[in-house]
Amino acid sequence: MDADFLLVKKMKIGDEQAVDIFIHKYYPQILKYCRLHIHDYNHAEDMTQETFERFFRTLNQYQHYGKAANYLYVIAANRCRDYYRKKSEIAVERLPEQLDWGMEDIEEWLDVQSALDSLPHELREVAVLFFFQGVKQKEIARILGIGLPLIKYRCRKAKEKLVKYLEKEKRL
C-alpha cells in the first residue's frame, strides 16, 4: 500500500494528524504550480487554499487510483482556469517574495515567466507540470486525461518554444 492511500484512508475517518501530514506534503507543490499560472502570489495562495478546500470537501467521494497529487493538480488547474475566466484583466505580475534574490535572478525569473506566458495553454500546462513541478510524463497523461504520445509531443514542443523564446530574450 502506498503512503497516499493510507493518508486518505485516515483522513476519511477524521484523523487530523493525517490531514496535517497531507497538507505539509503537497501544499508547496500546489502553491508552486499555482504561482506559475497566476503571477500574483496572494491570488496563487488563494487558489492553493481553494484547491485543498475542494479536495477535503469531496474527500468522501475521492477514489484513490495512484497519487493524490494528480487529483490536486487537476483541481488546481481548474481553479486557475476559473480565476482567469472570472478576471477580464490579468493582474500585474509580482516578483517572488524572496529577499535574497539578486537582480540577475529576478530578470531570469521574469524571462521564464514571460516565456511560459508566450506558450499556448495546452503547452504551458504540460511545461509547468513536467519542467517546473517534476511530474513524470505518464502522470501528466493521467492528470490531463490525454495519451502519453501527445504529452511527449507537447513536452518537446514546449521545450523548443521556451528555448527559442529565451534565446531571443538574451539577444535583446
C-alpha cell at 93: 505580475
Residue 41 has pLDDT above 80, yes or no: yes
pLDDT for position 171: 67
C-alpha cell at 112: 521564464
pLDDT for position 45: 93
Residue 81 has pLDDT above 50, yes or no: yes
Q: Kindly list the structural domains of the chain, giving each domain's residue range(s) and its CATH number in brackets, ordered by start.
A: 1-94 (1.10.1740.10), 102-172 (1.10.10.10)
pLDDT for position 99: 40
DSSP string, 46-90: HHHHHHHHHHHHTGGG---SS-HHHHHHHHHHHHHHHHHHH-SSP
Residue 103 has pLDDT above 80, yes or no: no
CA-CA-CA-CA dihedral for 25, 29, 35, 37, to nearest 10? -130
Residue 101 has pLDDT above 70, yes or no: no
Residue 9 has pLDDT above 60, yes or no: yes
Pairwise CA distance, residues 50 & 38, whole Å:
14
Percentage of residues in the chain having pLDDT higher than 90: 35
Residue 78 has pLDDT above 80, yes or no: yes
Read off the pLDDT of residues 109-148 as tens digits, 9 standing for 90 and up.
777 888 888 899 889 989 989 988 888 999 899 888 899 9
Pairwise CA distance, residues 172 & 167, whole Å:
9
The answer to which of 51-60, 94-103, 116-125, 140-149 has the lowest mean pLDDT is 94-103
